[in-house]
Chain A
Amino acid sequence: MSERRFRLLETEMIRRGVALRHARRAALELEGHYRELVDQALARDETPEQAQQSAHEALGSDAVLIDRYTREKELRSWAYPWRAVYLLAPLLGFACLFVAMMAALIAASGRLSTELHHVSDPRALVHDVNLALTVLLLWVMPAVIAMGVGALAGRQHIALRWLSAGIVVLSIITAQMNVRFAITSGSPHGLVGAGIGLSTGHLPYELLHVLALVALTLIPAAWLRRRVMSRWLALE
């Protein structure tokens, strides 16, 4: 009962915008205080029920405690006024990682251009690299980013609608992207290039692609968010 009160209090504080670390510490300290009050009441020969009741009363109501915490601006979460950032977070995360991956690929390709130019079957290599890039950049990366944002949203108790909206937008954009890797001739060592583009042809296929990507990214992200949130309420 007492543990449940403090877990719920902690969760409610986070939902109302108290920073995670302050809410966590508040629950820890309030629970410790409560136990000391119970011990003190038991030492006065109160029954366990009376002791728990008087300890809860001495601490004060949850509404007052939450109100005091939310009133202190130093204790508020920076993220609370910016919940809409979860709409943009998957996109920004994807853009940053995508640019980083492309830069790394271009750097690696530049160094290996001589070797790649002498590959006996460059078409097979290009096909394999393209497949790997497509799976990694356009399927795995959005899913990983969505899960990361989902875990963050769980820690902040951010509503699912913000997370879902961001992930759906990310899925639509990544479904419209393509990545191409090519070995071209024309310079002493040949050239290696990579590019992105948007495709609007084959609408049914594109729609299926979006739906598959939404399922791949949203379901694990929502599951992870729920799992992180439920850890706060996990009771023995």
Chain B
Amino acid sequence: MSERNPALMSGIPELVVLRLLAEREMYGYEVARALKVVSQGALSFGEGVLYPALHAMEARGLLRSRSQLADGRTRIYYRVTPKGRRRLERLTSGWRRVSEGVERVLGAASHE
């Protein structure tokens, strides 16, 4: 099942990060804040674990980064590449299928 619906098992961080970065370029701290705000705290985790995910996505060519000095600090900004956008589309449609399937099961179960 995880092979047919990877978003269900392990693709969630990748999916939400790609979705946020598809809107605009952000650096790690901004991504963490946006995740917290948009998910209303539903997606909570140690904020540091965002970075291995970002770095791995960049290594796979889904993101591109650039560094910028701001207030004496170096910030690494990430943006989604065309390959990342295609991956986002696949993950989104996969997640929607799973989510609708779960909703249907939950709805059917509540009517029994």
A interface residues (Cβ-Cβ under 8 A, vs B): 22, 25-26, 28-30, 32-33, 35-37, 58-61, 64-65, 68-69, 71-72, 74-75
Contact = CB atoms under 8 A, between A and B. Distances in A.
17 contacts: A22-B55, A25-B76, A28-B74, A33-B28, A33-B32, A58-B46, A58-B47, A59-B46, A60-B46, A60-B48, A60-B49, A64-B46, A65-B46, A65-B48, A69-B55, A72-B59, A74-B60
A200 to B, nearest CB: 51
A interface majority secondary structure: helix
Interface of B: 27-29, 32, 45-49, 51-53, 55-56, 59-60, 73-76
Contacts of A30: 48, 51
Contacts of B55: 22, 25-26, 69, 72, 74-75
Contacts of A58: 46-47
A59 B55 CA distance: 16
Given A33-B47, A59-B46, A72-B52, 7 more contacts: A29-B28, A29-B76, A33-B32, A64-B48, A65-B52, A69-B52, A74-B56
Contacts of A68: 49, 52-53
A26 B29 CA distance: 13
B21 to A, nearest CB: 15
A32 to B, nearest CB: 5
B74 A32 contact: yes
A65 B48 CA distance: 7
Given A32-B75, A74-B59, A65 B47 contact: no
Nearest to B45: A60
Say what secondary structure dominates the interface of chain B.
Answer: helix
A32 B48 contact: no
Contacts of A25: 55, 76
Nearest to B30: A36
Nearest to A68: B52
A28 B28 CA distance: 11
B63 to A, nearest CB: 12
B28 to A, nearest CB: 5
Contacts of B49: 60, 64-65, 68
A33 B46 contact: no
Nearest to B31: A33
Nearest to A72: B56
A26 to B, nearest CB: 6
Nearest to B49: A68
B52 A32 contact: no
B26 to A, nearest CB: 12
Nearest to B54: A29
Contacts of B76: 25, 28-29
B95 to A, nearest CB: 21
Contacts of B74: 28, 32
Nearest to A9: B48
B56 A75 contact: yes
